[in-house]
């Protein structure tokens, strides 16, 4: 019977064997969770450093030990090490397009200019601090979080750093509303586009830059933050000032902010034409972009366990995180039979502002191989889809993840 099982799944068996799975483990996973569980377990063989590095000075200032190190692309958090609603700075993921900038605060200014501004200006740091301040909780997530799942679950690798589930974190941010800064500079009624430019070297055009529509820029909860979790913004996270745009992909939340350009026409740069755009079969062009420009994130959930996980004993309380750009998470469900039946997980605590929700599952299991899937639904009825269309650069993957678990 076991020989027949492998014979019927020969391409999958060859793939799994090439990723280091034994025949016994392949069969156990296949019986427990089907092909999805096998593909998920192939993550065992994914090297933690997923990009080739050219010898260079360290990318970041923080200790890389707690993270999955992706070399010059950044540091991925290990969800199993996160326990509270707020992600500690020392465990908050880092996604960089170049080395973290070291900005001299004494000479730093924020320039605000453009053809849709009446009063171009340059604000010093102390002037930023004199504007109305607010503190807000918001999760922040890379557009490519879960990218490796296109390969593991669909068998189609996407371009880019093969992020797992940890290019996300939840923090408290303190700063000023971007709308207050734009109003101070005399933003005009014909303003259409707001370009944020960093002081790093993350783009051929200069600093890493990305535009957002005036509606998002003028939203009262789009912040220019100078504090994170009550501390001065760390260098790796954008000191002295960065954008926080709740619910939008991390690429829109520019670090080491140095310039804002407000225009009466849509602004196009590398990061909304050749990067951060959904391209491939079925994606139509948008403006100067060859596909659909990525702005909002997607609803997601994930277990706070190693991938794959090994657990001892029989009674388990499994924790996890869920978040949606559209509103609070209303429910999280879980399945151990490939999604044929679903049960409610427990939502723990209160979801604050744009933060994530924590959930827990009470699960009893004897020794063996299992696969648990989770899916979240928000208060507006948005839920994780059964499948996600492939795009070339692997953005916005959010189908339910079959998490392989060995109980020993």
The tens digit of pLDDT for each residue in 373-403 reads 999 999 999 999 999 999 999 999 999 999 9
CATH of 300-407, one of 2.40.160.20, 3.40.50.360, 2.60.40.650, 3.20.20.10: 2.60.40.650
Spell out the per-residue pLDDT of the chain, length 408, in tens: 344 444 445 556 666 766 666 766 776 676 666 666 676 666 544 444 433 333 344 678 999 999 999 988 899 999 999 989 999 999 999 999 888 999 999 999 999 999 999 999 999 999 999 999 999 999 999 999 999 999 999 989 999 999 999 999 999 999 999 999 999 999 999 999 999 999 998 666 789 999 999 999 999 999 999 999 999 999 999 999 999 999 999 999 999 999 999 999 999 999 999 999 999 999 999 999 999 999 999 999 999 999 999 999 899 999 999 999 999 999 999 999 989 999 999 999 999 999 999 999 999 999 999 999 999 999 999 999 999 999 999 999 999 999 999 999
Cα 304 versus chain centre, distance = 15
The CA radius of gyration of the chain, in Å to the nearest whole number, is 22
Burial call 310-327: b when 16+ CB within 10 Å, e when fewer: ebeeeebebbbbbbbbee
Per-residue model confidence (pLDDT) at position 39: 66
Task: Give the residue extent of every domain in the chain.
Answer: 2-45, 94-293, 300-407
Per-residue model confidence (pLDDT) at position 252: 97
User: 338, 305, 408, 233: which is closest to 82 by C-alpha?
Assistant: 305
Instruction: Give the C-alpha separation, 169 to 283, whole Å.
Output: 29
Instruction: Write out pLDDT tens, residues 282-332.
Output: 999 999 999 999 999 999 999 999 999 999 989 999 999 999 999 999 999
Treating both helix axes as pointing N-terminal to C-terminal, what angle do 10-18 and 23-41 enclose, rounded to 10 degrees?
90
CATH 2.60.120.380 fits 94-293, yes or no: no
Q: Tell me which DSSP letter residue 248 carries.
A: B
Per-residue model confidence (pLDDT) at position 201: 82
Per-residue model confidence (pLDDT) at position 98: 86
Query: By the 8 A CB rule, do 192 and 266 touch?
Result: yes
Q: Tell me which DSSP letter residue 135 carries.
A: E
């Amino acid at each position: 019977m076991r020989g027949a099982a492998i014979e019927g799944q020969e391409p999958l068996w060859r793939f799994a064997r090439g990723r280091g799975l034994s025949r016994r483990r392949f069969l156990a996973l296949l019986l427990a969770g089907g092909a999805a569980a096998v593909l998920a377990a192939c993550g065992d063989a994914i090297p933690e450093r997923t990009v080739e590095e050219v010898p260079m000075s360290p990318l970041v200032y923080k200790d890389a030990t707690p993270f999955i190190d992706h070399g010059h692309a950044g540091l991925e958090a290990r969800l199993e090490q996160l326990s509270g609603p707020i992600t500690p700075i020392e465990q908050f993921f880092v996604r960089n397009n170049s080395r973290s900038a070291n900005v001299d605060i004494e000479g730093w200014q924020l320039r605000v200019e453009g053809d849709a501004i009446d009063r171009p200006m340059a604000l010093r740091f102390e002037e930023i601090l004199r504007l109305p301040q607010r503190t807000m909780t918001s999760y922040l997530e890379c557009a490519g979080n879960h990218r490796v799942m296109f390969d593991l679950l669909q068998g189609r690798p996407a371009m880019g750093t093969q992020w797992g589930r940890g290019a996300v974190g939840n923090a408290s941010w303190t700063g000023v509303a971007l709308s207050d800064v734009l109003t101070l500079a005399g933003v005009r009624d014909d303003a259409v586009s707001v370009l944020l430019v960093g002081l790093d070297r993350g783009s051929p055009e200069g600093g890493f830059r990305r535009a957002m529509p005036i509606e998002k820029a003028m939203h009262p909860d789009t912040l220019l933050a100078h504090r994170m979790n009550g501390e001065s913004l760390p260098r790796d996270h954008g000191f002295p000032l960065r954008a926080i745009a709740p619910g939008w992909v991390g690429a829109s939340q520019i670090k080491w902010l140095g310039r804002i350009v407000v225009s009466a026409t849509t602004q196009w740069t590398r990061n909304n034409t050749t990067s951060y755009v959904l391209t491939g079969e079925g994606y139509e062009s948008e403006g100067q972009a060859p596909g659909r420009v990525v702005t909002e994130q997607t609803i997601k959930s994930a277990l706070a366990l190693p991938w794959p996980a090994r657990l001892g004993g029989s009674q388990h309380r499994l924790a996890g995180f869920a978040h949606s750009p559209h509103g609070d998470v209303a429910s999280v469900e879980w399945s151990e039979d490939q999604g044929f039946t679903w049960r409610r997980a427990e939502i723990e605590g209160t979801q604050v502002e744009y933060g994530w929700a924590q959930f827990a599952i009470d699960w009893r299991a004897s020794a063996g191989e299992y696969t648990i899937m989770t899916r979240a639904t928000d208060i507006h009825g948005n839920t994780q889809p059964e499948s996600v269309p492939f795009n070339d650069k692997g953005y916005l993957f959010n189908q339910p993840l079959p998490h392989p678990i060995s109980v020993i």
